[in-house]
Amino acid sequence: MKLTDLSIDNFGALSRLSLPEIGPGLNVFHGPNGSGKTTLLQFIRGVFAGFAEARRRQLIPPVGSGAAGGTIGVEWGSRRLAVIRHSRPDEYETLAINVRQGLADEGQSLRKHIEAFDDSRLSVLFTAGSFDANSVEALIALARQDGLDLTTTLGNERPLSTRLTHLHSNRAMILRDLCEPGRRAELQARCEAVAQEGLSIQKEADQRRAELLRARVDLDERLATLDREMESLHLEWQAVSTDLTECEDRLWSSTSQKVVDVVYVQESQSPTHNPRLPEVEELDLRIEHLRAALKDLAATRKQVSVEAADGAGSDVPDRMAFARRQREALRVMQMQLQVLTGTAQWLESAQRTGTCVCESLGERLTSVVDEMRRQVEFSCQELSRQQTAWQLEKSRTELANIDSCEQGLRQQLDWLRVRREEL
């Protein structure tokens, strides 16, 4: 019989605990004291042998609410069943067998096996491996009761005796060789020769080690000198690079001048051909292209900066306030249109009656036209201010993009210069 799964409703301090899969081999439960390891074993024992021991250990009634008990899934041959046991308040217990795979009457067969369990035998098996066991006498008695053979057969000790005899004979042979005339002197001479050879080798090794140490000291000093020279050259290169960058900025920011005299100097042909010359020429072309691009960016920045400076002094209206004022102006013009509509109706009725309303009509129209003119002028001013703000925001965005592009181009230019110097 193998345990396949486990589910605890309430038992001791454990509540609603489920182990859906229990491995077929060794299963290890670990945790600190009081985490429920022994309680879990008592639950397994109680499901198969009853909860009497659990009541003695005061695991029933449980800490949580509800009846104590749970379910253990078992694999019995080719059948799969579930053993369910619960404790009632009157200290009686209910045992049920649920057949998951197999015939229905196999549940009754498993129930008979469970009811036939010997609680004393289960108690011995349960406590034999725990700290409660004081001896293995109970296990020995149980093994004898089941007919298990506990005797041990002594093996043959002759191979050990043969090996010991062989070692003794080898020892006697060695001692006999040492006692031969001249053998000891020969071995001693060989030992002295080996010792002299070892001293010579050690002396040569010490001399070689001293030479390597001196060479290492010289190399360390040379490396330190080279590091200082490299640091000095690096500082000089940084200063020259800074000066060149400032010169390029001044040249690009100054007014362009026409070159009047152009002198072409033909370089003398080198007798030797450099295989890396085409790559250097390509790098020069790319460097000139990047310089031209940077110059174009400088001109574009100047133009955008001038455009942004034109609108720098103007205030930036709030978009919500701008929309609110535009709605107010539209509302005023709508009211004036209603006044014009009423005036047109009043003029039509006056024409039907033949009444002259020229003076009143002139005053009304003048007032309405003046008010609508003011609202139109106000809307035009607001739109102009908003257009200026939008243009200023656009210029700032373009300047940021130009700065980002220029930074990328400068990084590429620096890399090309380093690569050219390497070649």
Q: How confident is the model over 191-224, as pLDDT tens digits? A: 888 888 888 898 888 999 999 999 999 999 988 8
Domain boundary among 101, 117, 133: 117
- C-alpha distances in Å from residue 279, one per residue of 151, 276, 353, 387, 415: 90, 5, 100, 51, 14
Residue 260 has pLDDT above 50, yes or no: no
Contact 314, 395 (CB under 8 A): no
The pLDDT value recorded for residue 289 is 86
Dihedral angle computed from the Cα positions of residues 272, 273, 276 and 278, in that order, rounded to the nearest 10 degrees? 140
Residues 6+ apart with CB under 8 A from 240: none
Please indicate, yes or no, if residue 74 is contained in any of the structural domains. yes
Sheet containing strand 79-87, edge to edge, reads 14-19, 2-11, 69-76, 79-87, 93-101
Please indicate, yes or no, if residue 59 is contained in any of the structural domains. yes
Interatomic CA distance for residues 370 and 372, integer angstroms = 6
User: What's the mean pLDDT when you consider all of the chain?
Assistant: 79
Residue 83 has pLDDT above 50, yes or no: yes
Give mean pLDDT, residues 71-89: 90
Give mean pLDDT, residues 392-403: 83
Question: H or E segment at 405?
Answer: helix 358-422
Task: Report residue 351 as tokens.
Answer: 């024409």
The pLDDT value recorded for residue 259 is 42
Please indicate, yes or no, if residue 245 is contained in any of the structural domains. no
Selected residue with higher pLDDT from 205 and 347? 205
Alpha helices in 116-257 (DSSP H): 119-127, 137-145, 158-178, 183-253
Half-sphere exposure of 333 (CA within 13 A, CB side): 14
Strand partners for 18:
7
Interatomic CA distance for residues 363 and 339, integer angstroms = 12
The pLDDT value recorded for residue 60 is 87
Please indicate, yes or no, if residue 167 is contained in any of the structural domains. no
Domain boundary among 117, 142, 161: 117
- Which residue in 40, 48, 44, 50 sits closest to 12, CA to CA? 40
Judged by phi (left if over 0) then psi (alpha if -120 to 50, else beta), residue 16 lies in: left
The DSSP code for 276 is T
Interatomic CA distance for residues 322 and 327, integer angstroms = 9
- C-alpha distances in Å from residue 212, one per residue of 200, 207, 223, 233: 18, 9, 16, 31
Task: Report residue 198 as tokens.
Answer: 């070892």
Task: Report residue 86 as tokens.
Answer: 């619960």
Tally of domains within the chain: 2
128, exposed or middle or buried, with CB in 10 Å at 0-12, 13-18, 19+?
middle
Selected residue with higher pLDDT from 256 and 139? 139
Selected residue with higher pLDDT from 270 and 292? 292
pLDDT digits (tens, 9 = 90+) for 142-152: 778 777 777 76
Interatomic CA distance for residues 169 and 160, integer angstroms = 14
Half-sphere exposure of 88 (CA within 13 A, CB side): 5
- C-alpha distances in Å from residue 107, one per residue of 100, 103, 112, 236: 10, 8, 9, 94
Q: Which amino acid is at 396?
A: R
Please indicate, yes or no, if residue 231 is contained in any of the structural domains. no
Q: Check which CATH number belongs to the domain holding 405 and give it.
A: 1.10.287
Domain boundary among 89, 117, 145: 117
Residue with tokens 């609202």: 375
Strand partners for 96:
84
- Which range has the worst mean pLDDT, 187-191, 223-227, 274-278? 274-278
Interatomic CA distance for residues 421 and 287, integer angstroms = 13
Q: Check which CATH number belongs to the domain holding 15 and give it.
A: 3.40.50.300
DSSP states along 293-332: HHHHHHHHHHHHHHHHHHTTTS----HHHHHHHHHHHHHH
- Which residue in 40, 24, 63 sits closest to 126, CA to CA? 40
Please indicate, yes or no, if residue 270 is contained in any of the structural domains. no
Please indicate, yes or no, if residue 198 is contained in any of the structural domains. no
Please indicate, yes or no, if residue 30 is contained in any of the structural domains. yes
Residue with tokens 């397994």: 44
Cis ω for the linkage preceding 89 (within 30 of 0): no
Task: Report residue 48 as tokens.
Answer: 């198969």
pLDDT digits (tens, 9 = 90+) for 5-19: 999 999 988 989 999
Domain residue limits at 373: 279-422
The pLDDT value recorded for residue 5 is 94
Interatomic CA distance for residues 63 and 38, integer angstroms = 16
